[in-house]
Structure 1
Amino acid sequence: MHWFILIVAGLFEVAFASCLGKAKETTGVEVYWWYAGFLLSLSISMLLLIKATENLPIGTAYAVWTGIGAVGTVLMGIFLFKDPASFWRIFFIITLIGSILGLKLVSH
């Protein structure tokens, strides 16, 4: 259950990073809605990370949390923000996913 909570926390990390990206692209009142989404997603992500680390090693949990956030944010950038999807970006995303899975496998 704690791994599931950690994965959801990582997805909310993707959400808060994406809200920051959208806030940079907007103007007027809309920018405040994106910043509100950022603050809400950030709060939920942190609370879930705290909950997950009750039974998971902090080093492993933090590495997995940031890894999910990094991979998810890069993929959101590619699919939603039209960031480039070069060979090396995809290669390193795959190696990062492998590292996240490896940490999960070696953790008790």
Structure 2
Amino acid sequence: MYVVTNRIDLKTGYAEKLAPMFTKNSGIKEMKGFVRTEVWQIDNEESYDQLYVNTWWDTEEDFNAWRNSDAFKNAHKGSKKSEESPVLNNEIVKAHVLTQLD
């Protein structure tokens, strides 16, 4: 199992507004090896909102295929609005799951 987390810092008040855009299908569900996506709002920051967008994959290769796909490009097209982005910072963390208990 391979997990990719996008840690996103947002201006206060944007977490709940933006979270649903990460769980609309946009082609990811049809990708080989896709397991699931979860979006978490982190509670330990007071000066800004923080989301963790987590995607689970069967393998790292499956994730890389998603990153190189047309579906990924379409899902990540920028908005045409002239509105300033609420994103303050983001960091991608990738991990191999070595053990788990279900």
TM-score, normalisation: structure 2: 0.29
TM-score, normalisation: structure 1: 0.28
Q: Higher relative contact order by CA 8 Å / sep ≥ 6: 1 or 2?
A: 2
